[in-house]
Amino acid sequence: MQGRLFILGLGPGDPELMTLKAARILREARHVAFFAKAGRMGHARGIVADLLSPTAEELRFEYPFTTEVALEHPSYAARMGEFYARCAATLATRMDAGQNIALLCEGDAFLYGSAMYLFDRLRDEYTVEIIPGVAGMSGCWSRAQTPIAHGDDVLSVLPGTLDAASLLARLQRCDAAVIMKIGRNLPKIRAVLEQAGLLSRAVYVERGSMEGERIMPLAALADASAPYFAMVLVPGRQHNR
């Protein structure tokens, strides 16, 4: 019988923020796949470090780039496409052999998650079950004690990789925002928030709910760049009720 793929959203980092369903599937999993950067454990793999069965087989999908490559770089899409096709083929071979596989994803898998590219390639021929996770942004605004959207506030979720003009235009049209993928985009994001008059409201969250968590007003952050696992929250209009 053909095996199935379980795409597990594991939440923002604290293992206790995982759903009961994800935890059960994980405990039962005999084959576990995850993405990782070269030389790193893999963020999702780190979340489950204490939960994984010691006898589970681990399939590590290592990204082809060791440093961040700009999305618009001509080779980026092609090389990532080949990488995702190879990962999907590996999972397909395993499922053809009857194996069930748990694919680990941090946060929610369908929010800027790599698992979506495998889902797109496998969904027509295989049974795939998606287990939703607490999104990273939800973990971050909870840890930062920052209610994000009230009443008829419009919340925008923006990748910090957007160019400055696009970021500014988007920020000017919303009441509340979450800016993800900070990294080396930090100076640009800070400058745009200042231009939009939002810097004083912006909260910086690094590694929310994980070891090494840092939370502070963005205006107070002296660093010139941020790690990949950082986001900026701009809470909405704080309506009184």
Ligand X SMILES: C[S@@+](CC[C@H](N)C(=O)[O-])C[C@H]1O[C@@H](n2cnc3c(N)ncnc32)[C@H](O)[C@@H]1O
Residues contributing to the site for ligand X (CB under 6 A): 12-13, 106-108, 111-113, 135-137, 139-140, 180-182, 205, 207-210, 228-231
- Counting Cα atoms < 13 Å in the Cβ hemisphere of 195 gives 15
Whole-angstrom distance, CA of residue 239 vs CA of residue 241: 6
Specify the residue, 95 or 171, whose C-beta has the smaller distance to ligand X. Answer: 171
Nearer to ligand X, 210 or 234 (CB): 210
Which helix (H) or strand (E) element contains residue 233? strand 230-234
Residue with smaller CB distance to ligand X, 3 or 235: 235
Distance in Å, CB of 203 to ligand X, minimum: 11
**How far out from the chain centre does Cα 180 lie?**
9
Q: What are phi and psi of 165, to 5 degrees?
A: -65, -40
Shortest Cβ 97–ligand X spacing (Å): 29
- The enclosing H or E element of 14 equals none
Q: How far is the CB of 19 from ligand X (least distance, A)?
A: 13
- In the complex with ligand X, the residue whose CB is nearer, 108 or 175, is 108
Q: Residue 232 pairs with which residues in a beta bridge?
A: 179, 204
Phi, psi of 111 (to 5 degrees): -115, 100
Smallest gap, in angstroms, from Cβ of residue 115 to ligand X? 9
